[in-house]
A and B are shown apart, each in its own frame.
Chain A
Amino acid sequence: MSDPFLTLGIDPDADDHVVESAYRAAIKRCPPDRDPAGFQAVRAAYERVRTQRDRIAYALFETEPPEPIDILRRAEAQGRREDEARPRRPDPALFAALLRGED
């Protein structure tokens, strides 16, 4: 099971309000009719960390080791936070290289 905080895109020290908001935003991204698997993952993540007690229980008693995807998502989340304003645009030289057939 993936890290519920990363699934919801929140920090482990988020409060109830943040969790709720993140959940609502996430189910808008993955509505059950269009993305049932994504919705299920979001719902499960929300159920696991909905209340403060849930979050403490997760921190203390969850022993499942992280998956590579958790680490990837964590790095992505951290990167976003540290460089929120930076546009995600490649360098023209990279386009040139790919156009030349370098892959």
Chain B
Amino acid sequence: MARKRKKQSSHGGSKAAAAAKQRPEVREREALQALESGHWRDAIQALKALLKDDPESERTPARRRALADAYAGRARDLTAKGMLKEAAVIWENRAALGADIPPSLDHGILRLRLGDPQPLIAAWAHPDALNREERQRVGEQLAAAVLSERLVGGDTALLEQLAEDDPIRRHAEPAQMALTAYCNADQNGMEAALAELPFRSPYRALAILLKALVRAETEPDAAREMLARIDDASAFAPLRRAAELALLPDAELLAELDRAGPRQAELVAALRGWSNAQLELARALASFQRDSGRQQKTLQPLLKRYRDLLGHDWAQQASLRLMPRRTGLLDPHPPGWNALSGHERALIKAWGTEPEGDPWDVLDAWEMVAQGLIAEQRGRRDAPYSLEIAMVLRRGERRFKLLETEHPEDDLDSPETIAAEQLERSLQWDPDHRETYLRLITWYRRANRLKDARRVLGQAQERWPQDMALLEAAMETALASNAFKKAAGIARRMLAIDPINSSARRRLVEAHIEHAAKQIPKRRGDLARKELAEARNWTGRGSGLEPVRAQLDLLEGLVVLALEDADQGKAMLNECLTQRGSGVVAQVELMLAVDRLTLKQDDIAKRLGLKRIKVGAPEDLRAIIGQLRSHADQVGHFRRSLLERLAAALKGAPWKRLERNELEHACETLRAFRLNAARREAARAGLNRWPRTPMLEYHDFDSRYSDGGFPSMSELDKMEGALARAREAGEMRAAERLRELLQQFMPFGRMPGPPGFDDDPWDDPFPPDPKDDGQDLGEGIALLLQVLEQMPLKQALEVTGMPKDMRRQVMRIAREQGDEAAVEMLKAMIYSAAEAAGELPKPQGGGGRSKARSADDPDGPPKQFDLF
């Protein structure tokens, strides 16, 4: 340390020596710059040296005043840091500069704080020497000192040095009484004492403060405004600052509390009604919050130490949420934590399983929680306990929305079946949850477990006989059971409750049309027409069902043509087509009607003398896309003959005349029909006009490979580019679809790309030596196999980037047959895929893309590797 000081001093000396060589004017300018910038120490050093080196200068008085200012600045800094004695020395140095340096009030105030009131008393005794503000300041300082003395022990030494009629002396008594009354919560006493303090009393800031503190208990905003009236330079400002701190919102208070001194913190605690333990805790939390790098779990010791203060139950619940998540077994007495009950351990495991676990694990984890609760409950069935169990039993299904699937997997071990069973049991504990009944009914109906659907429906309808959602579910279930009369009865009930409900009518119409179609193979034209007549009855008054009514004319004509009277049917259909203008739009509508009745397209066209159509006009194209959309919404499945006719009709359609949104809409519709060639035409037409449109890029890629085949590596790169652009443009729907598409082609992500993905024989101008292929493939496969062999299966599947659905399937196999069997299966698939890769077409020397493709499928995608 000594060496350091010496070094500093030597450095300072050389600096001073260097400075001394400069001209005094330059040195003075630099010193004044330091003073201006608040670099007090530099200014003091420079000015002292200048006064010593150039004492005869006419600038000496001005330099001395500048030095006095530098001393004052430095002394105030030291005071603010709490270095009062050091500050006092600096003030003394300033005072020693000469009689022409006026005494500073701050110096007097500091001496007062250090126990010497004489300078301020002297200043107070000569009011003419002070301006109004200075007089007020001195008065407040002396008043605060008097009050402080009286509060701690009734010392009157300072008081007695003041004249008897001095306001500081005269008002000291009521000021002290007011403060004491406030501290004793004696409102009347406080008000009476404050009434004795006149407006211009040196204790006026105290009066404002006390009133604000009382008001803070009910009107914090008003209190803050009152406190703001106490000046920063006031002797009562430290009290104001502490009171303002106590009034801060919680979050800000924590941040400020860390910077507050112990006395200020004590006042905050007192004003907020905190105990000592609370204050301790608050300061510890403030310090935790300051250190943002600290892990949340380090709050645990605080929860443990202050659990009496926080309440044991609350502290334990908070602790559980700080605990690192575990999916395996938990120690009932984890070191550093409170003992865990069986329920708590099960809960932590379930929390740990949820984010990453597959549905089996999650369902299983919550089942364990439910079983624990049931065991703890010991027969009690009061609401909170029963609801807890029910909600836990529903959690797994809710997490994955398992029963919302369109295609239920109804085997005993499927997550859906397990979830359905858990939901059924949940109803025993909480039979008033309508949503659960509805989920079960829908799932059972989709899984064709109609008996179960009816059973659950019966239970629900006992509780809510007029509920529209349940009536709708009942109608759907009746229709699924071909119970048309029952469905019609339910629809009538629904319409009695809600006469403008068109969805019930629409659904019944659809069901009758479906039923009519079922009569066609049986050649029961009478029954088919009867169903269509029923359908027509239901469309009778329904608004918004006009297109359906028009379609029924076509359907009826088709039934007559196909099964009853060809001439009459032909006449009926020709009339329908004439009404529709006999163009391509009318013919497409007819094709869709033919499809609904499962009739043969060619046969009907031949009977009606219709030729294959081509869509040439953009308005026709728009109308047809609209028809197809509506048909897709109603039907959802289509016969191959319809698709072939539509594909032929749409080939070469005027896509380029459509706008961008029309093309995107058209692509969506064509995707539903799997009309991929037309979709690709539409997408490419759009991309020609609006290049790099993410959704159109998606349709372009997807339509190319929807019917099979795999993209080359460069195409995958392009897809990734499109994905990045979609994300950048905020087109999240396109981005999500592109992401799914990429994942479909790269189940293992880019690590290590499945064999065959790495070579793009058409794009690479320097195709690799075929001999090297095996080595490249070998490296990728070796890495893949290494991952599978060395990591736990679940982790390995995640690392490879395999899609979630596939991971679930593999994990299911692992459950049923063991991890080893699952790994062996995957290895076999990888080896087999590697073999298949060996059959990839090799690039031909100098051949372009078209030459390299298979001759029998010139438009098809390149043959690639299919691992899954």
Whether the Cβ atoms of B144 and A90 lie closer than 8 Å is no
Whether the Cβ atoms of B180 and A66 lie closer than 8 Å is no
A99 and B236 in contact, given A68-B254, A75-B281, A80-B273 (Cβ under 8 angstroms): yes
Size of the A side of the interface (Cβ < 8 Å), in residues, is 44
CB of A53 closer than 8 Å to a CB of B: yes
Interface residues of A in 38-63 (CB under 8 A from B): 52-53, 56-57, 59-63
Least CB separation from B373: chain A residue: A60
CB of B179 closer than 8 Å to a CB of A: yes
CB of B337 closer than 8 Å to a CB of A: no
CB of B395 closer than 8 Å to a CB of A: yes
A59 and B263 in contact, given A65-B299, A71-B310 (Cβ under 8 angstroms): no
Distance in angstroms between the alpha carbons of A92 and B314 in the assembled complex: 35
Distance in angstroms between the alpha carbons of A21 and B217 in the assembled complex: 21
Whether the Cβ atoms of B270 and A91 lie closer than 8 Å is yes
Whether the Cβ atoms of B282 and A56 lie closer than 8 Å is no
User: Which residue of B238, B254, B271, B388 contacts A69 across the interface (Cβ within 8 Å)?
Assistant: B254
Whether the Cβ atoms of A76 and B272 lie closer than 8 Å is yes
Whether the Cβ atoms of B250 and A93 lie closer than 8 Å is no
Distance in angstroms between the alpha carbons of A72 and B288 in the assembled complex: 12
Distance in angstroms between the alpha carbons of A71 and B306 in the assembled complex: 10
Whether the Cβ atoms of A86 and B273 lie closer than 8 Å is yes
User: Which residue of B82, B266, B278 contacts A94 across the interface (Cβ within 8 Å)?
Assistant: B266
Whether the Cβ atoms of A79 and B275 lie closer than 8 Å is yes
Write the nearest CB–CB distance from A35 to chain B, whole angstroms.
Answer: 9
Distance in angstroms between the alpha carbons of A93 and B176 in the assembled complex: 12
User: How extensive is the interface on chain B, given as a class?
Assistant: 35 or more
Whether the Cβ atoms of A102 and B261 lie closer than 8 Å is yes
Whether the Cβ atoms of A99 and B238 lie closer than 8 Å is yes
Interface residues of B in 137-194 (CB under 8 A from A): 144-145, 147-148, 151-152, 179-180, 182-185
Write the nearest CB–CB distance from B354 to chain A, whole angstroms.
Answer: 8
Whether the Cβ atoms of B310 and A78 lie closer than 8 Å is yes
User: Which residue of B148, B274, B318, B325 contacts A79 across the interface (Cβ within 8 Å)?
Assistant: B274
Whether the Cβ atoms of B151 and A68 lie closer than 8 Å is no
Kindly supply a per-residue 1/0 record for chain B positions 359-383, scoring 1 wherever the CB is within 8 Å of any chain A CB and 0 otherwise.
0000000000100000000000001
Kindly supply a per-residue 1/0 record for chain B positions 255-282, scoring 1 wherever the CB is within 8 Å of any chain A CB and 0 otherwise.
0000011111011001111110010011
Residues of A within 8 A of B591 (CB): none
CB of B576 closer than 8 Å to a CB of A: no
Residues of B within 8 A of A75 (CB): 274, 278, 281-282, 306, 309-310
User: Which residue of A52, A63, A66, A73 contacts B384 across the interface (Cβ within 8 Å)?
Assistant: A52
Whether the Cβ atoms of A66 and B387 lie closer than 8 Å is no
Distance in angstroms between the alpha carbons of A100 and B310 in the assembled complex: 35
CB of A17 closer than 8 Å to a CB of B: no
Kindly supply a per-residue 1/0 record for chain A positions 73-103, scoring 1 wherever the CB is within 8 Å of any chain B CB and 0 otherwise.
1111011100100111111111111111111
CB of B123 closer than 8 Å to a CB of A: no
CB of B302 closer than 8 Å to a CB of A: yes
CB of A70 closer than 8 Å to a CB of B: yes
Most chain B CB atoms below 10 A, which of A53, A68, A102:
A68
Interface residues of B in 176-217 (CB under 8 A from A): 179-180, 182-185, 217
Whether the Cβ atoms of A60 and B152 lie closer than 8 Å is no
CB of A64 closer than 8 Å to a CB of B: yes
CB of B66 closer than 8 Å to a CB of A: no
Interface residues of A in 8-45 (CB under 8 A from B): 12
Distance in angstroms between the alpha carbons of A63 and B391 in the assembled complex: 16
Whether the Cβ atoms of B309 and A90 lie closer than 8 Å is no
Whether the Cβ atoms of B239 and A98 lie closer than 8 Å is yes
User: Which residue of A71, A88, A95, A98 contacts B318 across the interface (Cβ within 8 Å)?
Assistant: A71
Whether the Cβ atoms of B318 and A70 lie closer than 8 Å is yes
Write the nearest CB–CB distance from A58 to chain B, whole angstroms.
Answer: 10
User: Which residue of B145, B262, B282 contacts A99 across the interface (Cβ within 8 Å)?
Assistant: B145
User: Which residue of A74, A94, A100 contacts B267 across the interface (Cβ within 8 Å)?
Assistant: A94
Distance in angstroms between the alpha carbons of A26 and B203 in the assembled complex: 37
Write the nearest CB–CB distance from B483 to chain A, whole angstroms.
Answer: 35
Least CB separation from B289: chain A residue: A68
Least CB separation from B110: chain A residue: A101
Kindly supply a per-residue 1/0 record for chain B positions 300-320, scoring 1 wherever the CB is within 8 Å of any chain A CB and 0 otherwise.
001100100111001001100
CB of B285 closer than 8 Å to a CB of A: yes
Whether the Cβ atoms of A68 and B288 lie closer than 8 Å is yes
Distance in angstroms between the alpha carbons of A83 and B297 in the assembled complex: 30
Whether the Cβ atoms of A72 and B182 lie closer than 8 Å is no
Whether the Cβ atoms of A90 and B266 lie closer than 8 Å is yes
Write the nearest CB–CB distance from A67 to chain B, whole angstroms.
Answer: 8
Write the nearest CB–CB distance from B165 to chain A, whole angstroms.
Answer: 24
A89 and B310 in contact, given A60-B347, A71-B285 (Cβ under 8 angstroms): no
Whether the Cβ atoms of B303 and A71 lie closer than 8 Å is yes
A103 and B145 in contact, given A68-B299, A70-B318, A71-B303 (Cβ under 8 angstroms): no
CB of B503 closer than 8 Å to a CB of A: no
* Known A65-B318, A72-B253; 12 more pairs at CB < 8 Å: A56-B391, A57-B391, A60-B347, A63-B325, A66-B318, A71-B302, A78-B311, A88-B272, A88-B273, A89-B183, A98-B242, A103-B241
10 examples of A-B residue contacts, CB within 8 angstroms: A12-B314, A61-B391, A66-B299, A66-B318, A74-B310, A75-B281, A89-B183, A90-B271, A92-B180, A95-B148
Residues of A within 8 A of B (CB): 12, 52-53, 56-57, 59-66, 68-76, 78-80, 83, 86-103
